[in-house]
A = this chain, B = another copy of it.
Amino acid sequence: MSERWGRFYGIGVGPGDPELMTLKAVRVLERVPVVCYPQSTAGEGSMALAIASGAVSLAGKELVPFPFSMSQPHTTDTWQGALGRVLERLAEGMDCAFLTEGDPLLYSTFVYVYEHLRRHHPQVSLEVVPGVSSVTAAAARAGVPLAAGRERIALLPALYHPQDIGPCLESSDTLVLLKVNRMLDAVRRELEARGLVDRAVLVRRATLPEEQVLCGPEALDGRVRDYFSVLIVRR
């Protein structure tokens, strides 16, 4: 047991292109001996780990997968096991980094780890390294400003708030929808009712090789349904 606990970093690795990692993310990752990453229990591997590996060699580091499902991310035994292993390393004085796609505090599974550590392990010093979010990356790839001057933005995970889509189109200048792949029909109806179909842009996996950008009716007709999509409607 070391006298000093290690530091726990939440590292945003950006939306997909490893070049969109920050200098700081790279520097911290080069230095830490332990790297944690979220791994979907659906068996899709870890996009965050793939992104980080594109800019930093992780050879020789201890890799700790944190399994998560969409529902309850931190109740499984394997999740608790991963956390226990990281706490051991921190107690030994080793710094650990937790990788997240995009930004660590914007719809990331890291938020649960962060809040858990802050509540139950206040002796651990925490640092969040912000990253480029998939929202601004999608806007960049689509060539759609998110907001200028006086404009207002609403951000919704569409899957959980279909009833908010219409009101948010009225009360904001730009509506950004995440988790939209199963809600495209509902979105299309709301946009049709307001003559806004032509303002829709769907960006799938922004900045990754499989990126697609679809505009207007094509964004909404379901030809692309992907969990990692962002739909932007700027009025």
Chain A residues close to B by CB (< 8 Å): 10, 12, 14-15, 17-24, 26-27, 55, 103-108, 111-112, 114-115, 118, 126, 128-133, 136-137, 139-141, 143-157, 160-161, 164, 167-168, 171-172
Contacts and interface: CB of A to CB of B under 8 A. Distances in A.
A166 to B, nearest CB: 12
A22 B126 CA distance: 22
A133 B141 CA distance: 16
Contact of A155 (B141, B150, B152): B152
Given A20-B23, A107-B148, A139-B105, A154 B157 contact: no
Contacts of A147: 105-107, 111, 155, 157
Contact of A105 (B10, B24, B108, B140): B140
A55 B116 CA distance: 35
Contact of A111 (B128, B137, B148): B148
Number of copies: 2
A126 B145 CA distance: 13
B172 A152 contact: no
Nearest to A126: B143
A129 B112 CA distance: 29
Contacts of A155: 147, 152-155
A119 B195 CA distance: 23
Given A104-B140, A140-B129, A154-B152, A22 B14 contact: yes
Contacts of A156: 152-153
Contacts of A143: 114, 118, 126, 128
B22 A20 contact: yes
14 contacts: A19-B24, A20-B24, A22-B132, A104-B140, A105-B145, A107-B151, A108-B148, A130-B136, A132-B132, A147-B157, A152-B154, A152-B156, A153-B156, A154-B154
A131 B132 contact: yes
A147 to B, nearest CB: 5
Contacts of A115: 145
The 3 closest A-B pairs by CB, nearest first: A128-B140, A19-B24, A150-B160
